[in-house]
Chains A and B, each alone.
Chain A
Amino acid sequence: MDVSRWVDGRLSALDPGNWRPDSSAALARLRHRDTSRRRRWWLWATVSAAALAGCAGLLLVSTPSACANPLGCSQPVRRAPVFLPAVAVAPKTAAPNPVVAAPAHRVAPARKANFKESGSPTAPITCELYTDYQCPFCATFYLETVPRLVASYVDSGKVRLIHRDFPLAQHRYARLAARYADAAGEAGYYQAAATRIFRTQAVWSGDGDVDGQVAQVVPPAAMEGVRARVRNDPAAEQSVASDEALARANRIDRTPTLVCNRHVFTGHVSFSEIQEYLDPLLAPQ
């Protein structure tokens, strides 16, 4: 028997005969499928892009920005939008740095002078200085400008100066430093500790050893109390937190910021600029 012919005979039974597939309709369906696929791809790409953008936005919001602002250290934009009042740059001869007219500035309720305050409680002008111990501009301002401000206006009873903590999120050890300074203040060594912390900023900013620097200016016996307060005393944290809350209430977003009555000086402000603002206010009417 011819197997080949036998098998061909069986397989010929499967011949679909005169059937003619409709290639045009099939091609139309294929095009429709391709169009749908492209639409789905674009939809997917759009949704993915939106999701990526959202993630990137969240990342940006949650990632502290670098401290590279020549005017000072900015607060990362994690909080609600910060609207510093419109910056009114005064003529260079008058005040080259931004002098900001603040909205009704909230000053902490009058209370008895504490270690963060200096000057007369009845001084006609109250200035609040918001600093971050890890901010280089704050260190410069605190070590160079503040002593002149104190000598010219605070010690003479014209200005009451309040130092407030405003540790920025991007500075890892700023909050710890503020707690050490406040704890040292409770022990009576605030100025010495704050000055030491600012002066040695480059040292402890790397490893966070604020303790070692504060211990240089606080006697060992008192230092134990400082450490205990930093570790266990809620008041140390509360002091920092209340200053931060006040900064936010006044829409302050960078350091150093000096607020004198209703005027806000931001960034690296020279002593002469402060003088130009204060002197007219203090002049006899």
Chain B
Amino acid sequence: MNAPGGAIEAVEIQADSFDFEAFFQAHYGHIARVIARVVGDHGRAEDLAAEAFWKLWQTPQARGESAGGWLYRTAVRMGLNELRSGRRRLRYEALTEAPPDALTPEEVHAAAEERDQVRQTLAVLRERQAELLILRASGLSYDELAAALGLNRASVGTLIARAQQAFRKEYIQLYGTPRNGR
């Protein structure tokens, strides 16, 4: 899991002294990777990440101490919307994600199939639960999740557990019980 390194806490920026370029350089990479988890297409992920920063630039009230949380929330929602709108470009994923040499073609195919299944499951989850799981998988801490999604810090653990239960339930409903208990 890639930890963002306290991404949101680091954004202690006042709106009146907001250095957009520094903020962009600090967060663009991670934001694009969060979106790439959801949409699978790296090029599209970069487009959506840039769009998220554009929205931040166009929303003065979002700039400030809460800019990081606002940006992660916006980014993951944009990714989920893209996923749900059926505009995924999985065919590009095969081109952008070169398989490790150690994997056989069957293993590569199985990995791609699993990614597709995970994304389809996320697409049918409730939005808040999908957001929690994606951001948690992207390395955000409980505090950061609470800040990004506007949650009570004390209830984040409970909400994540419920989201995981819901994910497993939907996954099994869609694709059956994983073999070997996986």
> A: which residues have CB within 8 A of B?
1, 3-4, 6-17, 19-23, 26-27, 29-30, 33-34
A14, closest chain B residue (CB):
B37
Q: Write 19 A-B pairs (CB below 8 A) sorted by A numbering.
A: A3-B168, A6-B164, A6-B182, A7-B164, A10-B118, A11-B134, A13-B114, A13-B115, A13-B118, A15-B37, A17-B97, A19-B36, A21-B29, A22-B46, A26-B24, A26-B28, A26-B32, A30-B50, A30-B54
Q: B119 interface residue, CB < 8 Å from A?
A: yes
Residues of A within 8 A of B119 (CB): 14
Known A-B contacts A1-B181, A14-B137, A22-B46; the reply to A30 vs B164 at CB < 8 A is no
| Complex CA–CA separation, A11 to B171 (angstroms) | 12
Contact with A along B36-69 (1 / 0, CB 8 A): 1110101001100110011001000000000000
| Complex CA–CA separation, A98 to B176 (angstroms) | 103
Residues of A within 8 A of B137 (CB): 8, 11-12, 14-15
Nearest-neighbour CB distance to chain B for A209, whole angstroms, equals: 61
Residues of A within 8 A of B96 (CB): 19
B: number of interface residues (CB 8 Å): 41
Nearest-neighbour CB distance to chain A for B140, whole angstroms, equals: 13
Q: B133 interface residue, CB < 8 Å from A?
A: yes
| Complex CA–CA separation, A12 to B120 (angstroms) | 15
Q: B15 interface residue, CB < 8 Å from A?
A: no
Q: B111 interface residue, CB < 8 Å from A?
A: yes
| Complex CA–CA separation, A14 to B24 (angstroms) | 24
Residues of A within 8 A of B155 (CB): none
Q: B152 interface residue, CB < 8 Å from A?
A: no
Residues of A within 8 A of B111 (CB): 13
Residues of A within 8 A of B133 (CB): 7, 11
| Complex CA–CA separation, A22 to B121 (angstroms) | 29
> B: which residues have CB within 8 A of A?
1-2, 21, 24-25, 28-29, 32-33, 36-38, 40, 42, 45-46, 49-50, 53-54, 57, 96-97, 111, 114-115, 118-119, 121, 133-134, 137, 160-161, 164-165, 167-168, 171, 181-182
| Complex CA–CA separation, A21 to B121 (angstroms) | 26
If over half of A's interface residues share one DSSP class (helix, strand or loop), that class is named, otherwise mixed; here it is helix
Known A-B contacts A3-B164, A12-B1, A13-B114; the reply to A21 vs B37 at CB < 8 A is no
Q: Are B165 and A16 in contact (CB under 8 A)?
A: no
Residues of A within 8 A of B37 (CB): 11, 14-16
Residues of A within 8 A of B2 (CB): 15
Contact of B42 among A9, A12, A16, A30 (CB under 8 A): A16
A21, closest chain B residue (CB):
B32
Q: Are B118 and A26 in contact (CB under 8 A)?
A: no
| Complex CA–CA separation, A7 to B132 (angstroms) | 12
Known A-B contacts A10-B171, A14-B38, A15-B2; the reply to A27 vs B25 at CB < 8 A is yes
Contact of A23 among B29, B121, B168 (CB under 8 A): B29
Nearest-neighbour CB distance to chain B for A40, whole angstroms, equals: 14
| Complex CA–CA separation, A21 to B39 (angstroms) | 14
Q: Are A7 and B167 in contact (CB under 8 A)?
A: yes
Q: Are A21 and B45 in contact (CB under 8 A)?
A: yes
Residues of A within 8 A of B168 (CB): 3, 6-7
| Complex CA–CA separation, A68 to B97 (angstroms) | 81
Q: Are A9 and B53 in contact (CB under 8 A)?
A: no
